[in-house]
A and B are shown apart, each in its own frame.
Chain A
């Protein structure tokens, strides 16, 4: 605060509220920041679902007996984990989107999903491998095939091991989603930039944007604490 004043900055917190909610002739409406938050949550949620699916499939491929499946999964993981997300967003948006006829939103979701899916994959694989081999053998000798063993025995147990690291990954996803603003998607970050360009409320807006991200990630953490407690009966 003191630093901003030393720069001759004039704080105008009273003007921030209308960026969150605004009263119009039609009544109360979401301001640009909450509209941006809504889009951020939409992108995050869709990316989360897709990244978990990608993560699960690639984890199962890595654990597969097929060398081809293992190889493909490994190439995907190495490629994604060793290049920056920003570059991946640009490649998907500027290179693949025109070929595949993808819009901005779809490109953003795909880029985030592929990126987070690679990390989720390793978490899921570790969770599956943490289950004692006896569980597989018990399932096999009691008449379950591999798919049934995964569905009913292995994954429900692995889930408990996976929840904490997957949550961290979910929180990372919320924060990483800010990068989609680089391809002109009006998420929370982009809306913040837009407001600053119009109002010059640089510090106020960035503080509010940071606070909103903090609230979302803390809410996620609380949800996880509940889930961990819910799954605490999964011990032998």
Chain B
């Protein structure tokens, strides 16, 4: 059972505390992605699991064994690095087999493992090339192969795709997903790319400033962000987050944005706001429709607004439109076949089915 448990883990560099008592339970065979902006402590957390960083306080367990004082080589965890860290003086075969050779593993077993890994990663034709003769994607696969042959309890990936170009990154994402399917082991994966996190993870751990902000499945985190930070971080383009004030008029409650725009809050059980309460309204780009480009009938609660186009981002199949709506900056998404120009005034339909409201002070989700 290769579960990984972090209990109240702290990390200090001198007097500077960079990880503040995080708790995490990674189940056996689970693919968990740690995601967050640069400097949020995700790589430090991973390196503490690997044993490459000492922990200041707390405990780390791998497979029901506390590994705080266990050397990296004895933790039964293999790490794949951002810069590959291949041995430049060894060919691909030696890079992959070297650790096994030092462990006095029989030659035929080494051969079998290397060939299996090479087969999974499509490296058979490159086994006798040196790292400098390989492309970025091939080097990354060798780094993964080197970890696979050890058959560790836990695989640790530290931003393995960040050095690759966009096309290769998409391809490697699929390969990593397939790898998890094939090896059926626990994977803890660090990235700052939320698309990677969404596509790969069984569960996502969103981190900020050394704290865990939310843990959940990709859908859960996308649809029910715990706070404004998570809402703004997950999703591409990010969720529209706008300062608003609650207005209570009779039994109806509204969000007031800017001078004139008022958005009705669809009634929901156990939600009560006070008049004048300062909040942050959240609405994803896919819930803001340009009326002329989208004649679809909407069943859920909606509301209309007018906006002036500021910037147009054509993406081919769709277009992101940055707009000024009564002084507030909004991003709407429209069909890519329509052409929009800066300065143009557009009518928008706001689909309020997935409206989010966060407390302005704590930034916690309250609706």
On A, residues with C-beta under 8 Å from B are 132, 134-135, 137-138, 140-145, 148, 152-153, 156-157, 233-236
A234–B89 alpha-carbon span in the complex (Å) = 5
Shortest CB-to-CB span from A37 to chain B, Å, is: 36
- Determine whether the beta carbon of A137 is less than 8 Å from that of B87: no
Q: Check if A142 sits within 8 Å of B78, measured CB to CB.
A: yes
Q: Give A166 to B46 CA distance when docked, in angstroms.
A: 39
A selection of 20 A-B contacts at a CB cut-off of 8 Å is A132-B85, A135-B87, A138-B87, A140-B71, A141-B73, A141-B78, A141-B79, A141-B156, A142-B98, A142-B147, A143-B102, A144-B99, A144-B102, A148-B102, A152-B102, A157-B87, A157-B88, A157-B89, A236-B84, A236-B132
Structural contact, B88 and A235, CB atoms closer than 8 A: yes
Tell me which residues across on chain A come within 8 A of B131, comparing CB atoms.
236
A143 adjacent to B89 (CB under 8 Å): no
* A134–B89 touching, CB < 8 Å: no
A145: chain B residues at CB < 8 Å are: 71, 73
Find out whether the CB atom of B150 lies under 8 angstroms from the CB atom of A143.
yes
A132, B85: Cα distance in complex, Å:
8
The reply to whether the CB of B51 lies closer than 8 angstroms to some CB of chain A is: yes
Partner of B88, one of A140, A142, A152, A236: A236
- Tell me if B81 is interfacial: C-beta within 8 Å of chain A: yes
Question: What are the residues of chain B within 8 A of A148 when measuring CB–CB?
Answer: 102
Q: In the assembled complex, how far is the CB of residue A178 from the closest CB belonging to chain B, in whole angstroms?
A: 37
Tell me which residues across on chain A come within 8 A of B156, comparing CB atoms: 141
Given contacts A141-B156, A145-B73, A233-B130, contact A132 B83 (CB under 8 A): yes
* A236 / chain B contacts, CB cutoff of 8 Å: 84, 86, 88, 131-132
Q: Which 10 A-B pairs have the closest CB atoms?
A: A138-B85, A141-B79, A134-B85, A236-B88, A140-B72, A143-B73, A142-B99, A234-B89, A143-B99, A235-B132
A157 CA / B131 CA spacing, docked (Å)? 13
B103 at interface (Cβ–Cβ under 8 A)? yes
Please, how many angstroms separate the alpha-carbon atoms of A236 and B87 in the complex? 8
Asked if A142 and B89 sit within 8 Å, CB to CB, the answer is no
Contact indicator B103/A143 (Cβ below 8 Å): yes
Total B residues in contact with A, Cβ cutoff 8 Å: 28
Q: Which residues of B are at the interface with A, using a C-beta cutoff of 8 A?
A: 50-52, 71-73, 77-79, 81, 83-89, 98-99, 102-103, 130-132, 146-147, 150, 156
Cβ–Cβ < 8 Å partners of B52 in chain A: 137, 140-141
Q: Chain B CB within 10 Å — which of A134, A135, A138, A157 has the most?
A: A138
Q: Given known contacts A140-B71, A141-B52, A157-B88, is B98 in contact with A134 (CB within 8 Å)?
A: no
From B81, B88, B102, B146, A137 is in contact (CB under 8 Å) with B81
CB distance from B207 to the nearest CB of A (A): 21
Q: Are B150 and A142 in contact (CB under 8 A)?
A: yes
In the bound complex, how far is the Cα of B131 from the Cα of A137, in angstroms?
A: 18
A142 vs B146: C-alpha distance when bound (angstroms): 8
Q: How far is the CA of A153 from the CA of B99 in the complex (A)?
A: 11
Q: How far is the CA of A156 from the CA of B83 in the complex (A)?
A: 19
Nearest-CB distance from B87 to chain A (Å)?
6
Within 8 Å CB of B83, what residues of A? 132, 134
Knowing A156-B89, A157-B89, A236-B88, say if A140 contacts B130 (CB, 8 Å): no
By a CB distance below 8 angstroms, the chain A residues around B150 are 142-143
Chain A residues in 8 Å Cβ range of B71: 140, 145
Min C-beta distance of B247 to chain A, whole Å: 56
A143 to B78, CA, bound (A): 8
B88→A141 contact, CB < 8 A: no
Residue of A nearest to B94 (CB): A152
Task: List the A residue with the shortest CB-CB distance to B47.
Answer: A137
| B98 pairs with A140, CB closer than 8 A | no
B89 touches A138 (CB 8 A): no
Closest residue on chain B to residue A151 by CB atoms: B102
* Distance A145 CA – B72 CA, assembled complex (angstroms): 9
